């Protein structure tokens, strides 16, 4: 894909648009309308989750929600960096808590990672970096390319690859999306995505009591923050010097998925699902 963008001097989003136009036969206005629907749903789930009063989530864990509290307190932080990370984390908690309530589920790429991309889009939109709607569309398309590559060359399924395939891929999608929204070249998107995914490799899936709550809800916040970290490292290094390319990371994801002990593949037989005692 990078070779295509180089050869035709186009962005990742332009490549994705060309693919959508050719495959679906729809016009750009129709594709944009669908992208806007997804972007709207992502922003809505964050806003609903942030506004929801603290409550207890369904299921035996009796986990309290916290997106609203984290958001309110983050907004009072005097230091911009603390406020930014706090608000981004709250947005991811909000999206994931909405999933856990059985409300809107944003599968980008999966239900377990429902908070990551919505938080990234929220952080790029009117309440964050204030990127235009067109830039948000381009961000979503760049993120979709990363999800596509992971789906077709590795896996998006925790039952096959553990949490690296869910939160890891979502974080990689987020890294590419942030770079695209900032008009960075495709190589920065690739490097940001690769960095974010790289640092989730090996992550297991061990949902407590089989519910997508612990560790999933907080893990979405970490995935969103790592998307930004991946972007900021990629943006601020000499991109040609990056030693680990995204193809190698996706290959490692596929290989690690094959080697991972089945106990860590969404079975709730090990890890936190075993060590955390529910009273």
Q: Residue numbers of the site for ligand SF4 (CB under 6 A)?
A: 112-113, 158, 163, 166-167, 205, 207, 212, 215-216, 219, 266
- By beta-carbon proximity to ligand SF4, the closer residue of 68 and 161 is 161
Residue nearest to ligand SF4 (CB): 112
- By beta-carbon proximity to ligand SF4, the closer residue of 207 and 230 is 207
- By beta-carbon proximity to ligand SF4, the closer residue of 116 and 179 is 116
Q: Report the nearest approach of ligand SF4 to the CB of residue 15 (Å).
A: 29
Q: Report the nearest approach of ligand SF4 to the CB of residue 207 (Å).
A: 4
Q: Report the nearest approach of ligand SF4 to the CB of residue 112 (Å).
A: 2
Q: Report the nearest approach of ligand SF4 to the CB of residue 120 (Å).
A: 16
- By beta-carbon proximity to ligand SF4, the closer residue of 179 and 220 is 220
Q: Report the nearest approach of ligand SF4 to the CB of residue 172 (Å).
A: 14
- By beta-carbon proximity to ligand SF4, the closer residue of 20 and 166 is 166
- By beta-carbon proximity to ligand SF4, the closer residue of 85 and 167 is 167
Q: Report the nearest approach of ligand SF4 to the CB of residue 177 (Å).
A: 19
What string of DSSP letters covers the chain? -HHHHHHHT--HHHHHHHHHHHHH---HHHHHHHHHHHHHHHHHHHHHHHHSPP-BPSSTT-PBP-HHHHHHHHHT-SSHHHHHHHHHHHHHHHHHHHHHTTS----SS-STTTTHHHHHHHHHSTTTT---HHHHHHHHHHHHHHHHHHHHHS---HHHH-GGGTHHHHHHHHHHHHHHHTT--HHHHHHHHHHHHHTTTT--B--GGG-S-TTHHHHHHHHHHHHHHHHHHHHHS-GGG-SS-HHHHHHHHHHHHHHS-GGGBSSSSSTHHHHSPP-
């Amino acid at each position: 894909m990078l070779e295509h963008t180089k050869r035709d001097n186009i962005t990742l989003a332009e490549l994705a648009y060309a693919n959508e136009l050719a495959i679906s036969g729809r016009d750009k206005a129709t594709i944009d309308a669908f992208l806007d629907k997804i972007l709207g749903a992502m922003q809505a789930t964050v806003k609903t989750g942030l506004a929801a009063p603290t409550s207890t989530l369904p299921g035996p864990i009796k986990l309290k929600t916290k997106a609203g509290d984290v958001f309110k307190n983050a907004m009072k932080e005097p230091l911009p960096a603390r406020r930014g990370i706090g608000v981004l984390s709250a947005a991811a908690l909000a999206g994931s808590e909405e999933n856990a309530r059985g409300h809107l589920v944003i599968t980008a790429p999966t239900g377990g990672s429902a908070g990551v991309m919505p938080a990234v889009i929220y952080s790029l939109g009117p309440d964050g970096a204030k990127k235009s709607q067109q830039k948000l569309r381009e961000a979503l398309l760049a993120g979709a390319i990363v999800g596509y590559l992971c789906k077709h060359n590795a896996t998006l399924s925790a039952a096959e690859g553990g949490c690296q395939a869910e939160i890891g891929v979502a974080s990689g999608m987020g890294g590419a999306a942030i770079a695209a929204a900032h008009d960075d070249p495709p190589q920065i998107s690739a490097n940001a995505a690769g960095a974010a995914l790289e640092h989730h490799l090996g992550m297991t899936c061990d949902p407590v009591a089989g519910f997508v709550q612990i560790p999933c809800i907080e893990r979405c916040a970490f995935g969103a923050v790592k998307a930004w970290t991946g972007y900021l490292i990629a943006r601020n290094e000499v991109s040609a010097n990056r030693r680990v390319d995204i193809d190698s990371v996706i290959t490692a994801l596929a290989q690690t998925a094959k080697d991972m002990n089945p106990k860590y593949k969404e079975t709730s037989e090990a890890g936190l699902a075993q060590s955390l005692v529910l009273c």
